Every structure is written in C-alpha cells, then in structure tokens.
Amino acid sequence: MTTTTPALVADGPGAPFIARQVERRTLGADDVSIAISHAGICHSDIHQVREEWGTAIFPMVPGHEIAGVVTAVGDTVTQVKVGDRVGVGCMVDSCGECEMCKDGFEQHCERGAVMTYNGRGYDGEPTLGGYSQSVVVSERFVCPIPEGIGMAEAAPLLCAGVTTYSPLKRWGVGPGTKVGVVGLGGLGHMGVKFAAAMGAEVTVFSRTSAKATDALALGAVEHVATSDPQALRPLRNRFDVVLNTVSADLDMNAYLRTVKPRGVLVNVGLPTGDYALKPGLLVGNSRVFAGSNIGGIPETREMLEFAARHGIGATVEVIDAADVTAAYDKVVAGDVRYRYVIDVSTIRA
C-alpha cells in the first residue's frame, strides 16, 4: 500500500516551497522505509530547483542529504533493521550489474543511476527527495549512520561528505600532503575537515577574510582571501591537491598555478558556465585537471565510518521548513555556516 508524507514541494523553476502531502511507494521486498529527521540543503538542490542545469522535473521535492530512522523493512532486507539510524544520499537505484555498479561506483552506472530526486525510477515514476518526513529506498542505497554522529550533523555527510572524501582519497591525501580547498561552503568545510583528519596541511581559499577564523577552527593551517588579486602569487607550485568546491564560474588557471608539478586540481563545483584552461599550465608541470562525482555506496559507508572514528560531522545550522526558501538565497550569497539542515518535523501539511 502506498503511503503519503508531508513534504516541501516546488511546483516550477524557482518557485517557493509549499508544504503538502506526497506519495511514497509500497514497501517492496528489498525496501527500507525511513522516518526522516533531517535533510541538508545542498547547492545542487538550488541549481536544480532553479533549473540552472537544464530542464528539471516538477513538482520537485529536493533533498539528497537524508538522515532518519528505519521504521519498516521488506522481507529480504538483511543489512538494516527497524530502529537503525540510516542515511540516504544522491542515488536510490542503479542497475547493479554493470562493471561500475559491481565495482561500487553506482554513480557511473551504465544504465544511469536513479537520482534521489529530479530523476525517474526504472519504473518511469519521478523520484521525490528528502525534504519530507518519510521515504522508501532499496536497502542497497541505505547507509548506516554510526554511533557518535548526531542526526543533523550526519545528514550532509551523505552528499557533501562523500563528495569531498572521495577525491581526497583517490588522489592520495595523507600525512604531509599539502591540500588547497577553494570555497568554504557546505562541500568546502567538509573537505577541510576530512583533509585535516587524513593528516594533510590544509589551506582555504575564500573570497574574503570573513571565514578566516572558522577555516582555522575547522582544521586549516592557512586562509587566503582571494578578493586580493595578488593573494595567489606566493602560492605557485605549492599544493599536491587543490579541491575546487565553488558553485560559480571561476578562473581555473589561477588555481592551476598553485598546483605542484604532477599534482592535481580536482573539481567538484558545478556552475553552469565553462572553464577556460591554459594548456601550458597543464602540460608544463604535468598537472592533472580532474573531476569527481559524489561517491559510490561502499565509499559512502566507509566515509561515515571514517567520520565517526575522527569525530567528524558537518557544522550545521538547523532550520524550520518555513525558512527554506529564504535559506536558498543565503546559500547563494555564501552566507551559511556551513550547511543548512532542515528539521523535517516542522513540515506541516
């Protein structure tokens, strides 16, 4: 039997959120039903609600940083049980059979992973995300939240956490590595926490000095205010890894110059414009310009364990459902410290 749940719904591109009931599917044999407590606001939610990435599916319920408690499980579910604290990230299904799925990189599924919202399930039905009070998800895409991480602090780990953990790990960040993190927002602050916990020496690039004290408190050793056009000059060839998390167009060449020979500038930001790269900056110092797309489910589970071991959660501002529309403008202005998380019990519909 399908159920209904209160949710925050945007009816068209850029529309304000309206609280109303939406439907959740009948619990299947491998499904888990989750009572959501918190949902993070990722900048990707804003890009999609505002159709900055192209045509989107409406009505839309965003939310792919989901934390909640299991309320029911299907007959074949073995990995979680009623009462467990769990998270759901950006994906809710994939083919499970292709090379990428078998290797634990479901985000690169050949058939196309089913995204948590603004996607369509393999049955053709639109998916609706975590700005709601319950969700039904295949157990393959449910990740246990370890003891010691609060629910509000855990929710953003399901996207911002794994999106930064994954490239730092892939590019070998560890003790002695020098890492630059560009943009101190939801992703950026997680990048700083993870890189510092991996043993790296972290420099934060932020537009102004407003977040300088925070950058050091999060684990960085240095903060650079990029509003000063000369600020990057002394940092040429400094970093093994630069992680760009900025949500807007940016001069990549300026940051490429800060990468050591054979080092990497890995981009996770998804602005709408193009980046212009000077070939000489890549070739001359054998630098790598890379991208990274969230993380697979095994890596998400590993990241949650790593976070628990190192006492890492997101730094959050918990808000009511009524404040989400206004919060979007604050995120775009860079005015969030460092992730808005919705207390979904405040959604009244």
Binding interface with ligand NAP (CB under 6 A): 42-44, 47, 159-160, 163, 183-188, 206-207, 211, 245-248, 250, 268-271, 292-294, 331, 334, 336
Stretch that binds Zn ion, among 24-32, 101-109, 155-163, 257-265 (CB under 5 A): 155-163
Concatenating the DSSP letter of every residue in 133-167 gives SEEEEEGGG-EE--TTS-HHHHGGGGTHHHHHHHH
Q: Please tell me whether residue 305 adopts helix, strand or coil conformation.
A: helix
Query: Quick count: other Cβ atoms within 10 Å of Cβ 29?
Result: 11
Chosen residue from 159, 168, 182, 202 binding Zn ion by CB under 5 A: 159
What's the token pair of residue 52?
């900055």
Minimal CA–CA distance to 70: which of 84, 91, 56? 84
Minimal CA–CA distance to 117: which of 107, 104, 130, 106? 130
Which residue in this structure is represented by tokens 């505002």?
Answer: 50
Looking at the Cβ atoms of 87 and 263, the one nearer to Zn ion is 87
Q: Which does 185 bind (CB under 5 to 8 A by kind): Zn ion, ligand NAP, none?
A: ligand NAP
Looking at the Cβ atoms of 161 and 263, the one nearer to Zn ion is 161
Looking at the Cβ atoms of 180 and 188, the one nearer to ligand NAP is 188
CB of 41 to ligand NAP, least distance (A): 8
Helices (H), the chain: 43-49, 99-102, 151-154, 160-170, 186-197, 212-218, 252-256, 279-283, 297-309, 324-332
Looking at the Cβ atoms of 42 and 246, the one nearer to Zn ion is 42
**Residue 267 near Zn ion by CB under 5 A:** no
Q: Which does 270 bind (CB under 5 to 8 A by kind): Zn ion, ligand NAP, none?
A: ligand NAP
Question: Which residue number has the CB closest to ligand NAP?
Answer: 185
**Residue 42 near Zn ion by CB under 5 A:** yes
**Residue 44 near Zn ion by CB under 5 A:** yes
d(CA 288, CA 282): 7
Looking at the Cβ atoms of 184 and 259, the one nearer to Zn ion is 184
**Residue 242 near Zn ion by CB under 5 A:** no
**Residue 226 near Zn ion by CB under 5 A:** no
Residue 274 DSSP symbol: P
Question: Which residue number has the CB closest to Zn ion?
Answer: 42
Looking at the Cβ atoms of 90 and 259, the one nearer to Zn ion is 90
**Measured between alpha carbons, how far is residue 124 from residues 18, 127, 204 in Å?**
24, 9, 43
The residues binding Zn ion (CB under 5 A) are 42, 44, 159
